[in-house]
Amino acid sequence: MKRTYIVLPINDTQPQKRYFIRNGETILNDFTASVDAEHPVFEAYIDVTRFGDTPFTLTDDTGAAVPYKTSDKLPKKEDLPNGTYLRPAAHFTTTLGWTNDPNGLILHNGKYHMFYQHNPMSWNWGNMTWGHAVSSDLVHWDEIGDELYPDKFGTMFSGSAVCDERNVAGFGEGALLLFYTAAGDHSEMSRGVAFSQCLAYSTDGGETFTKYEKNPIIPHIVGANRDPKVQWSDELQKYTLSLYLDGNDFTIFTSDNLLDWTRICDLNMPEDNECPDFYPLPLGDEIRWVFVAAHDTYYIGEIKDGTFVPEQPYQIYHRGGTSYAAQTFSGTGDRRIKIAWGRNSAPGAVFNSQMGLPVEMFLTKVGDIVRLGSYPVKETELLKKGTLAVGETTDGAVDVYVEIGDDCGDFTLSCFGMDIAVSPKNGTYTHGGCTAPLTFTGERKMRVIFDTLGIEVFADGGLVYSTMGAIADRTKPLTVTSDAVQIRADVLAM
């Protein structure tokens, strides 16, 4: 699809103002930005294809006209001034602006789609829009551009995607459906409007999307209720929609047609909020359901008697500070693949934060507790560019496999100046102020991915997962302070 953009010079060190795109007196779009023609840091690209042939003007909050350039394509990262500064080697980043939650993850017609929260106007959060990238292998992504834009119901907060294979919603067999929160009162267009849940659909494989004319599909319930995650349930023979309500409260709806939703049960996550995910996983020959929230606390349970029943106290999956608001893909069959938002700051860059590595989820029983684990998808091997020896450094990411000898004492693993202190005797490791268990099962192995903006750690075969944000010092090599540790390091790069 051919797109048209207006292009504005941005400098986030300057005060923000509100800008309006209007047709006569009608507001087509409004946004906040720090426009600075004299000292621009980067250029913001605003897709105006959605306005069609409608004439429009761009003004600031005083009504003064704002000059702009136009373009028919987005720039490439490597062609931007300062465009590669702090870019991770193995993690997805948007070309320009702020990124947060992954949205609408789906394998559709043989192509992986990743939508995400995007502010095309700033390095900071705001103007929430859905960005869009596609991949054939989960690790090499092509950025398509923005897809869902603020409207009269609100800005575009998080949500999910499903393929309507049976045309139960009536948009066409195989239509791609996006469920999202319209965050009212976050723009002038939606001033005074409460948060609600809405739907958009595509009948051309994700090339274009149309918002449902009867939105919202779930009106406001309470607070800033948000983040709908839709998943089919064989047990119910219905679709489920999990939703964050307020405080630490969540709810689950069901539907036969993806349009009309019935509330079936509520849940409380004592230490968590936002961005629920709800999906089945095998546990031996049985099926369990996982209900997980944004900070990665989770319940394990079953769907029976028409509702979700947790069977054990909530557990903790992730430790550390940067992995957040994870979501699993629809349409991946027996594989349950997850991507999280990596809250890894990139000061001075033309983008901010990244996506975590795609991982495959699993369940296993340890004693009387069912635990959720993850491990990088096998497609990560496609990023391998060679090996790295102790004492060497690289411009790529470093994927380190660690085996800890039985007689090993405390040691430190380090790369790019990022340190992990491991205490096998105490059964812990520490990085960036976070201490995590080394193992639940007794396995003494770790896998650590060092990249430009921080690290991801998978211990005990993936039952222990942690992250840390930091800026790589590429003059500092890979080191380990014990001869009782065996390591192998691969270099990864897109």
CA–CA separation, 107 and 332 (whole Å): 6
In a domain, 121, yes or no: yes
Q: Which of 277, 269, 266, 265 is nearest to 305 (CA)?
A: 265
Q: Which of 410, 407, 443, 442 is nearest to 426 (CA)?
A: 410
**368 and 388, same structural domain?**
no
Burial bucket for residue 436 (CB in 10 Å: 0-12, 13-18, 19+): buried
**394 and 369, same structural domain?**
no
Summarised one tens digit per residue, pLDDT across range 323-377 is 999 999 999 999 999 999 999 999 999 999 999 999 999 999 999 999 999 999 9
pTM score, whole prediction: 0.97
pLDDT at 1: 75
What are the C-alpha distances in Å from 341 to residues 77, 121, 141, 328?
20, 19, 15, 12
**479 and 339, same structural domain?**
no
CATH number for position 261:
2.115.10.20
**369 and 399, same structural domain?**
no
**94 and 203, same structural domain?**
yes
**324 and 195, same structural domain?**
yes
Residue 127, pLDDT > 80, answer yes
Summarised one tens digit per residue, pLDDT across range 222-270 is 999 999 999 999 999 999 999 999 999 999 999 999 999 999 999 999 9
Structure token pair of residue 268: 């409380």
In a domain, 359, yes or no: yes
Domain that holds residue 411: 384-492
Summarised one tens digit per residue, pLDDT across range 149-195 is 999 999 999 999 999 999 999 999 999 999 999 999 999 999 999 99
What are the C-alpha distances in Å from 449 to residues 2, 28, 311, 360, 397?
38, 44, 34, 16, 7
Burial bucket for residue 278 (CB in 10 Å: 0-12, 13-18, 19+): buried
Structural domains of the chain, count: 3
Summarised one tens digit per residue, pLDDT across range 394-433 is 999 999 999 999 999 999 999 999 999 999 999 999 999 9
Residue 113, pLDDT > 80, answer yes
pLDDT at 219: 98
Please give the share of the chain, as a percent, with pLDDT higher than 70: 100
Quick check: 313 and 91 in contact, CB under 8 A?
Answer: no
**128 and 57, same structural domain?**
no
Across the range 41-69, mean pLDDT stands at: 95
Backbone angles phi, psi at 219, to 5 degrees: -65, 175
Across the range 125-148, mean pLDDT stands at: 97
Backbone angles phi, psi at 383, to 5 degrees: -90, -5
Provide the mean pLDDT of the chain. Answer: 97
Coil vs helix vs strand at 174:
coil
pLDDT confidence of 321, banded at 50, 70, 90?
confident
CATH number for position 408:
2.60.120.560
pLDDT at 183: 98
CA–CA separation, 161 and 231 (whole Å): 9
**284 and 174, same structural domain?**
yes
Q: Provide the annotated active-site residues.
A: 101
Residue 2, pLDDT > 90, answer no
Report the residue count for the chain.
494
